[in-house]
């Protein structure tokens, strides 16, 4: 029996949490049973080379606005590679996957949802669009149980939606000596390091964090802010905010890091004020490195973090609240280190990469109508 051919449909493979998840699963699915292809609607991206077979990526060069040419391109490519499952991620790619699959008649569609609805995606028109498109999908999966409940609360069919909880590679992401890794990165060995990791999108709240750091810097003389990431709509604003900061010499713009592991390992605290994540990969990766996280209560973070035990949750809706929460959790370094140790234990126990990959394999088999045993057995 030939491997199941999975065709992901995305805008690009530029660095991001969702894109990182696609790569992680693709690299770990058993190659004798699964063959992974990716259709990038707009452009490729840095993560193409991380795939097990970068040559299995096609770029359609979509321009702004709807494109019938791109929809036909998805259909042709799905036929060309003999895709058994189309796996789009979020609303735009879902539209093209549904059209390219003949409304789910030619090829089965498994939709992936990675965050709560942003901007006009929560409008009644967009909700109706999703409802229509979901009818063409065999299954819909979310990356957290809270996101599954969120979709059901918005009127989407509970029987069609499954949660596959994100996992983390705890061998790659693990604690090391902070002073040593900081020196290797060219950072001061001493001090309290707060970090944020992610694309420069408005929903990540980089600007709120920078302003919060400006306010608390005088109260925490040894504190430094590390910003890991690049690209996104707010890149220029973020760089300008850092340049204008009265404590800009204590803010480190690390840029995009193909290997973010040492940057997590250098931190004392990861700040995750975003309110739109389904379940943040950055939070899981930091926790695996023994770094506690201060995260927004609005996301799937409550499924990962028990506040006060293995991390911290708060409604980080303003600069004032974020500044006070950061100051509070950094006030007791010994207690913070103990929280980081429990964070590592939590992800090792409950958020393994193996479990996540196994759940995707099971869902791919179900959507494709393939028996549940391993191919060739």
The predicted pLDDT at position 326 comes to 97
User: Is 18 strand, coil or helix?
Assistant: helix
Domains 4-167+353-368 and 178-350 fall in the same CATH topology:
yes
Rg, C-alpha atoms of the chain: 21
Q: Is 171 exposed, middle or buried (0-12, 13-18, 19+ CB in 10 A)?
A: exposed
Q: Could you tell me the pTM of the whole model?
A: 0.85
On whether the CB atoms of residues 351 and 165 are closer than 8 A, the answer is yes
For 4-167+353-368, give the CATH class: alpha beta
CATH 3.30.230.10 for domain 178-350, yes or no, is no
Which structure tokens are listed for 137?
């999908």
pLDDT digits (tens, 9 = 90+) for 134-151: 999 999 999 999 999 999
Beta-bridged to residue 193, according to DSSP, are 224
The alpha carbon dihedral of 212, 271, 342, 183 has a sign of negative
Delimit the domains of the chain by residue range.
4-167+353-368, 178-350
* d(C-alpha 137, C-alpha 252), whole Å: 44
Q: Following DSSP, what letter does each residue of 46-95 receive, concatenated?
A: GGGGGSS-GGGEEE--PPSS--HHHHHHHHHHHHHHT-SEEEEBSHHHHH
What pLDDT was estimated at residue 373? Answer: 52
Q: Classify strands 34-40 and 4-10 as parallel, antiparallel or unpaired.
A: parallel
- Which residues of the chain have a pLDDT value below 50? 374-377
Q: State the burial class of residue 372 (Cβ atoms within 10 Å of its Cβ: 0-12, 13-18, 19+).
A: exposed
Helix (H) / strand (E) containing 314: strand 312-314
SS3 of 150, please?
helix
pLDDT value for 375:
41
pLDDT tens digit string along 10-61? 999 999 889 999 999 999 999 999 999 999 999 999 999 999 999 999 999 9
């Amino acid at each position: 029996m030939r491997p199941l051919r999975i065709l992901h449909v995305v805008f690009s493979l530029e660095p991001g949490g969702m894109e990182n998840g696609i790569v992680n699963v693709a690299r770990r699915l058993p190659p004798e049973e699964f063959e992974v292809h990716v259709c990038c609607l707009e452009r490729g991206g840095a993560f193409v080379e991380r795939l097990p077979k970068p040559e299995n990526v096609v770029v359609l060069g979509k321009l702004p606005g709807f494109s019938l040419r791109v929809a036909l391109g998805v259909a042709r490519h799905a036929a060309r590679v003999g895709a058994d499952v189309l796996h789009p991620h979020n609303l735009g790619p879902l539209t093209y996957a549904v059209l390219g699959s003949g409304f789910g008649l030619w090829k089965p569609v498994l939709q992936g949802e990675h965050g709560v609805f942003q901007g006009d995606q929560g409008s009644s028109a967009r909700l109706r669009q999703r409802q229509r498109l979901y009818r063409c999908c065999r299954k819909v999966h979310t990356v957290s149980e809270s996101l599954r409940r969120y979709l059901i609360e918005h009127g989407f069919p509970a029987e069609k939606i499954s949660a596959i909880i994100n996992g983390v590679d705890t061998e790659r992401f693990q604690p090391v000596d902070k002073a040593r890794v900081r020196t290797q990165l060219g950072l001061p060995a001493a001090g309290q390091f707060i970090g944020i990791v992610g694309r420069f999108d408005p929903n990540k709240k980089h600007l709120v964090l920078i302003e919060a750091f400006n306010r608390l810097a005088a109260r925490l003389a040894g504190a430094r802010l590390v910003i890991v990431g690049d690209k996104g709509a707010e890149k220029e604003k973020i760089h300008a905010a850092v340049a204008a900061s009265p404590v800009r010499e204590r803010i480190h713009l690390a840029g995009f890091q193909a290997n973010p592991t040492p940057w997590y390992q250098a931190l004392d605290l990861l700040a995750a004020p975003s309110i739109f994540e389904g379940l943040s990969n950055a939070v899981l990766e930091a926790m695996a490195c023994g770094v506690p996280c201060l995260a927004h209560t609005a996301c799937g973070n409550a499924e990962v973090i028990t506040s006060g035990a293995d991390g911290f949750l708060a409604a980080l809706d303003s600069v004032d609240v974020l500044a006070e929460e950061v100051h509070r959790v950094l006030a007791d370094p010994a207690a913070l280190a103990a929280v980081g140790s429990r964070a590592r234990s939590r992800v090792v126990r409950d958020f393994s990469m193996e479990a996540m990959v196994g759940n995707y394999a099971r869902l791919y088999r179900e959507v494709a109508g393939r028996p549940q045993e391993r191919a060739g057995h």
